[in-house]
Amino acid sequence: MDSSQFREAAHSAIEEIANYYDDLPNLPVLSSVTPGYLRPLLPDGPPQEGEAWTDIQKDIERVIKPGLTHWQSPNFMAFFPANSSYPGMLGEMYSAAFNAPAFNWICSPAITELETVVMDWVAKMIALPECYLSKGEGGGIIQGTASEVVLTAVVAARERILRRRLAHMEEGEEKLDKMAEMRGKLVAMGSEHAHSSTQKAAVIAGTRFRTVAAPKEDGFRVTGASLRKTIEECKKKGLEPFYFTATLGTTATCAVDDFQGLAEVVKDYPDIWIHVDAAYAGSALVCPEYQHLTPVLEHFDSFNFNMHKWLFTNFDCSCFFIKKRKDLIETYSITPSYLRNTFSDSGLVTDYRDWQIPLGRRFRSLKVWFVLRSYGVKGLQALIRKHIGLGEYFHSLIASRKDIFTVLTGPDFALTTFTVNPPKPRGVSETAADQPDPAHESYTNDFMADAEGQYRENANQVTKEVYEKVNSKGEIFISSSVVCGI
């Protein structure tokens, strides 16, 4: 394909993409294909001779579209959103065109410098404390996903505590032995409702993992007392807790951990790295009515949220802010001769390879820049408020039908979680059925406890059946989750 063929192909692709977006509300959100549908539609191997773009493009309709789940459909209400936008897409187009894996500043100064500037813009827009800005000791970097960010933080936290504890030892075999011994005792922690990425990061980092209780009576939030209890239990066993993921908007219920309580605990355990994962709900921080959540973040070590979830920036774009960038650099800066250059040696430039696990990196800041400039802060606030308003409306509809639904949580950041009421079994009082909580005082009597247990089981079963039926119709797509047995 030469540049004139590219021009023609790209115009035709853009035409098709714009039509796809116009059509989205009319498409069933879920695909109806069966597993393995795609292989019979394709030849056994790649073509020996190149094909014309017009033939390749036809297969978007024939092969790809039937198997798509339409994440941009207005009927997509599952998981968390992955909102795209036209400015975001334009950013991806230019990024693909420049195709420059800018790991060092010299690899493309514009890529590094734009990222530093837009991350400062984003930090100010969501009212992060000043310590997360690049003018001091902190700064922001764009990574692919929240899971990558959490892994980056866990490994940096592991190395930080080893550095601190073994600072007195001379480099050498003895120190390496001691490090290996200590690593086996390190414990990463996350709420029982934290996203699975923390546990996965602990597996990759080769550390232990403990969940911190966040029961229903605490609103599924980790309190300071709960974190302290887990830390003390670990310490009693001779283990060393070194990292905790706090969550601003848990995956299942959008709970926000008790940050003030956690900040108190950190005062007693300054070597524990606290990372705040706000993957979805962090986008709401563009609105001043949510910014009371951010001042306390100055007591923690790092923070991330995904602009690709709820801030109209195409996947992938997880913004990772760090209070002391040296905590990353001291772990990730390994410089063989082929990566050295006078600019890096001067210490005057940022080399983002030293803030992350991979070497190469995408030009993601361009789409952030385009989105911020196209919508403006006010435009983004208006969109978030509209979604939150729709979430409140949805909640009011569900809450108005107590005969059918029981609201479990919400509306929180546009998320409402609910169960479907089963028929009431004989022996369950009105109060029991309306308050389906196994810990409820009225169930002290064994008979009532059994009836309640049965009621809960039935509620779970009927909720699952309704959920599966809704999704099997393909008109709207919703998600299910189990929290504390509900």
Phi/psi of residue 76, nearest 5 degrees: -90, 110
Q: Is 95 in the site for ligand PLP (CB under 6 A)?
A: no
Residue pair 310/190 in contact (Cβ under 8 Å)? The answer is no
Q: Which stretch binds ligand PLP (CB under 6 A): 37-45, 140-148, 255-263, 427-435?
A: 140-148
DSSP 73-95: STTB-SSS-----HHHHHHHHHH
Distance, CA of 211 to CA of 230 (rounded, Å)? 8
Residue pair 371/311 in contact (Cβ under 8 Å)? The answer is yes
Position among 242, 244, 273, 280 found at the interface with ligand PLP (CB under 6 A) = 280
From the CB of 99, what's the least distance to ligand PLP, in Å? 23
Query: Toward ligand PLP, which CB reaches closer, 137 or 192?
Result: 192
From the CB of 198, what's the least distance to ligand PLP, in Å? 9
Task: Compute the residue count for the chain.
Answer: 486
Q: Is 80 in the site for ligand PLP (CB under 6 A)?
A: yes
User: Looking only at residues 250 through 269 of this chain, which bind ligand PLP when binding is defined by CB under 6 A?
Assistant: 250-251
- String of contacts with ligand PLP for each residue 436-475, x by CB under 6 A: ----------------------------------------
Query: Toward ligand PLP, which CB reaches closer, 81 or 436?
Result: 81
From the CB of 242, what's the least distance to ligand PLP, in Å? 20
Q: How far is CA 485 from CA 460, 461, 481, 482, in A?
A: 9, 12, 10, 6
From the CB of 411, what's the least distance to ligand PLP, in Å? 17
Among the listed residues 191, 129, 114, 109, the one whose alpha carbon sits nearest the alpha carbon of residue 324: 129
User: Looking only at residues 108 through 137 of this chain, which bind ligand PLP when binding is defined by CB under 6 A?
Assistant: none
From the CB of 245, what's the least distance to ligand PLP, in Å? 8
Residue written as token pair 């802010």 = 321
The first and second tokens of residue 427, run together, are: 């022996």
Q: DSSP 3-state helix, strand, coil percentages of the chain (rounded to 5)?
A: 50, 10, 35
Cβ partners under 8 Å of residue 208, min gap 6: 185, 186, 187, 188, 202, 239
Query: Toward ligand PLP, which CB reaches closer, 145 or 471?
Result: 145
Total binding residues toward ligand PLP, as defined by CB under 6 A:
15
Q: How far is CA 150 from CA 203, 214, 360, in A?
A: 12, 20, 19
Query: Would you give the DSSP letter of residue 248?
Result: B
Q: Is 247 in the site for ligand PLP (CB under 6 A)?
A: yes
By DSSP bridging, strand 302-306 and strand 318-322 are: antiparallel
Q: Which stretch binds ligand PLP (CB under 6 A): 125-133, 155-163, 277-285, 469-477?
A: 277-285
Output the CA torsion sign for 39, 41, 43, 47.
negative
From the CB of 122, what's the least distance to ligand PLP, in Å? 16
Distance, CA of 383 to CA of 374 (rounded, Å)? 13
The first and second tokens of residue 123, run together, are: 């930090």
Position among 112, 116, 134, 147 found at the interface with ligand PLP (CB under 6 A) = 147
Distance, CA of 246 to CA of 257 (rounded, Å)? 6
User: Looking only at residues 312 through 371 of this chain, which bind ligand PLP when binding is defined by CB under 6 A?
Assistant: 318
Query: Would you give the DSSP letter of residue 436?
Result: -
Query: Toward ligand PLP, which CB reaches closer, 42 or 482?
Result: 482
Position among 30, 119, 133, 146 found at the interface with ligand PLP (CB under 6 A) = 146
User: Looking only at residues 179 through 238 of this chain, which bind ligand PLP when binding is defined by CB under 6 A?
Assistant: 195, 197
Q: Which stretch binds ligand PLP (CB under 6 A): 101-109, 163-171, 245-253, 463-471?
A: 245-253
Query: Toward ligand PLP, which CB reaches closer, 129 or 282?
Result: 282
Query: Toward ligand PLP, which CB reaches closer, 145 or 335?
Result: 145
Query: What is the number of other CB atoms lying within 10 angstroms of the CB of residue 407?
Result: 14
From the CB of 257, what's the least distance to ligand PLP, in Å? 11
From the CB of 17, what's the least distance to ligand PLP, in Å? 23
Distance, CA of 409 to CA of 53 (rounded, Å)? 50
Using CB under 6 A, list all residues that contact ligand PLP. 79-80, 145-147, 195, 197, 247, 250-251, 277, 279-280, 306, 318
